[in-house]
Structure 1
């Protein structure tokens, strides 16, 4: 059984029903943060801050526990897989990662759950669209169509694909928001073209940059989910993303052309045609942007926190209880056989 099938068909004897929020009592929650080489990746700090914020909003007491034993020596191979297998429930950011875990036989499919990262729908909102920011991103030509990309500028992000896209879109400008080791190569690649590199932006500047674009293109085929796609859609900007990694979890097939566009990996014609369609029709672009914003309200941090608290944590406890019963059951039966209660006769 695949993750997708489990999400669609909940079998009563395998999975407990979700805990209704109305019947949920406040909890005392300990959040353990283990040091690792990945502790400072993009979004790590905000992810925990928002998670804690909305747990407390629901009435829970949250204690954060960190260890100070140093970074573990290995984060790959058998040792890591062994720790995954010990989990009662494994949360993944996309179905693609879940399939990888299944293929590696890390855990059973029914013990894998999708938990999409939350998006800060208040910080990434269409009302941040800003004329001054658009002047900056278009290098003083705000009336020109503007394609944007936000994220780390790394070779693994397939950003060279955007050069081919822009070669076929005369008169369209592109802005790269972010920094990374591939930036000098990209600047050489786009030399003489209408391209702007802003470097890293934060806070309200980043919110304005998202909302001031016309179309967001995501060419990376290695995204586990694609937080920047969520943020662009939350900002009301239509996304044209590659059909790979976690992007199809955000723009599923039945929403392709409604809340965003997907294009086939490496298919330049497919990508360009969809970008052109959006840039050539303001009404269609605004309609898709509005639909994207409405869809992202399902991904806000309140919804994501509610899901893990009332549904996924409940499932983890259920699996733990089931495992404990399986381990202790034979012992209980043996004890009952060895220490049978004496028969009492009333004759």
Structure 2
């Protein structure tokens, strides 16, 4: 398998190349519930032609959107193995954004897609268990996509007094809690209101924006925190985001629906202690044997348990620094290069093996019939 990569994206007007990968933009439309998330089927003749000319060894569909259907269609059309990564737990989100009766149909769609795939990659053991319990696909075709983080972009060296002034609203000496991520109802951010009610001296900064027509969007959250020492920066990127992570004291993650929790990885890589809900993929990042060493977990929705983990960190600078340093050292073992190497050398090879096996099983009866209808003549070696 070669090292050339083609990326088909929902964003139009993209450059032809990005870090050596060929980019192909597809026409898209906004998601009804997330206006800033573009959706595309990516099945235009132009895209099919470009993928065909590229002659891929394998197709990787990494999207919770409808493009996964297009990727599957192209894979079957070109007779190429396909890997799907499941990194957004859509059935959990549906009741919070739409109608509960849509959950069962969504599981049927997920089963259709992942049974058609040659391999499914998941970001955590918890999600793997959920898919196995729902019998989405055979257990041996569900593999863990090892966690990875850009440990150079998210680093303690980005700690900035100016950014801390901004996030604390001009009170950098006060304890500063930060949260980075989408401002959506599934993130349980209203839980942080009950936390801040008990921490009059602390400050909190929310970095990120919310989806369109969300029950708890950024505006609603701002109203909830009216009169409280909270700062809402909106979405930050690049060095500003790196500075925001590194300039806080503690990162709190109350969400119970994280499939992986990339922001938790980024916070730990930035040398910031994490206090996260014991749910979804977060216990994979802070396993039981590392609790109290590289971070802390609390019972989801339990304010008292959260406070027991959070208050000592806010009050004890030495403890914060010890946990933050241990978290940073742990994340140095999980850079993207190692994670990508494993996908390329192990997971993709497994998908190709499953694809070849499936193909051989499908062609077996035809081969048997051909041999009997058109037997090969016996060869006499005398």
Shorter-chain TM-score range = 0.7 to 0.9
Offset of residue 336 of structure 1: 4.2
Native 8 Å contact 2:176 2:249 kept in 1: yes
Task: Say yes or no: does 1:152 pair with 2:182.
Answer: yes
Q: What do residues 25-70 of structure 1 show as CA deviations (whole Å, max 9, x unaligned)? A: x7143435375xxx79xxxx9xxx9xx74xx5xxxxx444556698
Pairing partner for 2:197 from 167, 176, 180: 167
**Secondary structure in 2 aligned to 1:230?**
helix
TM-score, normalising length from structure 1? 0.78
Offset of residue 333 of structure 1: 4.0
Native 8 Å contact 2:111 2:137 kept in 1: no
Q: What do residues 231-282 of structure 1 show as CA deviations (whole Å, max 9, x unaligned)? A: 1111010110001112112112222211111111111111111011212222
Partner residue of 1:256?
A: 291
Task: Say yes or no: does 1:130 pair with 2:163.
Answer: no
Name the CA distance, whole Å, in 1 between partners of 2:275 and 2:254: 8
**Secondary structure in 1 aligned to 2:174?**
coil
Name the CA distance, whole Å, in 1 between partners of 2:261 and 2:147: 9
Superposed CA RMSD in Å reads 2.8
Partner residue of 1:274?
A: 309
Task: Specify whether residues 69 and 256 from structure 1 end up closer, same or farther in structure 2 by C-alpha distance, changes over 3 A only.
Answer: closer
Partner residue of 1:31?
A: 6
Offset of residue 118 of structure 1: 3.3
Task: Say yes or no: does 1:325 pair with 2:360.
Answer: yes
Native 8 Å contact 2:268 2:327 kept in 1: yes
Deviates more, 1:287-296 or 1:206-215: 287-296
Task: Say yes or no: does 1:342 pair with 2:378.
Answer: yes
**Secondary structure in 2 aligned to 1:209?**
helix
Partner residue of 2:256?
A: 221
Partner residue of 1:314?
A: 349
Offset of residue 112 of structure 1: 0.9
**Within-5 A mapping of 1:32-47:** 33=8, 35=10
Structure having greater relative contact order (Cα 8 Å, sep ≥ 6): 1
Q: What do residues 117-151 of structure 1 show as CA deviations (whole Å, max 9, x unaligned)? A: 53221111100001111112122221111111111
Native 8 Å contact 2:9 2:23 kept in 1: no
**Within-5 A mapping of 1:1-347:** 27-31=2-6, 33=8, 35=10, 53=19, 62-65=21-24, 71-72=40-41, 75=66, 77=106, 78-79=108-109, 81-116=111-146, 118-180=148-210, 182-338=217-373, 339-342=375-378, 344=380, 346=382
Native 8 Å contact 2:177 2:203 kept in 1: yes
Q: What do residues 103-122 of structure 1 show as CA deviations (whole Å, max 9, x unaligned)? A: 33221111111114532211
Name the CA distance, whole Å, in 2 between partners of 1:125 and 1:69: 35
Task: Specify whether residues 195 and 107 from structure 1 end up closer, same or farther in structure 2 by C-alpha distance, changes over 3 A only.
Answer: same
Name the CA distance, whole Å, in 2 between partners of 1:151 and 1:111: 30
Structure 2: tracts of 5 or more residues without a match: 30-39, 44-64, 67-104
Q: How many residues align?
A: 302
TM-score, normalising length from structure 2? 0.71
Native 8 Å contact 1:162 1:219 kept in 2: yes
Native 8 Å contact 1:30 1:65 kept in 2: no
Task: Specify whether residues 81 and 240 from structure 1 end up closer, same or farther in structure 2 by C-alpha distance, changes over 3 A only.
Answer: same
**Secondary structure in 1 aligned to 2:333?**
helix
